[in-house]
Amino acid sequence: MQSRKKTKKTQQEKKDPRVGSKKKVPLMVEFVNKPEKGKVIPPMKKALKPAPKISPEVELAQLEDNECLHQLLDDIENGKKISAEDQKFVDECLDRIDELMTELGINDDEEKDDEYVLLRQFETANLNEYR
């Protein structure tokens, strides 16, 4: 009887308790999606979305608030040398600002003239009149 119990135990121990397929799985993944010989798949073309059009006022405000542009202009004023790419960027931004200002009818020269007029009035004013 003990021999029967031992054989039953050994049979139960040998039986794999795991459920599932016993098929071996390769550990290295080889090229799964092999292209068929002779067939060439053309690359897909990217659909270019047109840039959303913004109003000139908004674009002008964005250009005037551009921190990178302000930093580059400060560097130029301080006499620092900037790269050719940065100079090109500054030129393009300033040209675009000029275009937008003429399109919107804003004249920067008038504002400067008004400042000079006020400065001249202050300098030529007789302050003794107000004593």
90-113 pLDDT, tens digit per residue, is 999 999 999 998 888 887 655 556
Distances (CA, A) of 116 to 11, 20, 111, 119, 124: 107, 90, 9, 5, 12
Check whether 8 has a pLDDT greater than 70. no
Q: State both tokens at 89.
A: 């960027």
Average pLDDT over residues 55-68: 91
Tell me, yes or no, if the pTM score tops 0.85: no
Average pLDDT over residues 5-17: 62
Q: How far apart are CA 98 and CA 96, in angstroms?
A: 5
Do the beta carbons of residue 60 and residue 100 sit within 8 Å? yes
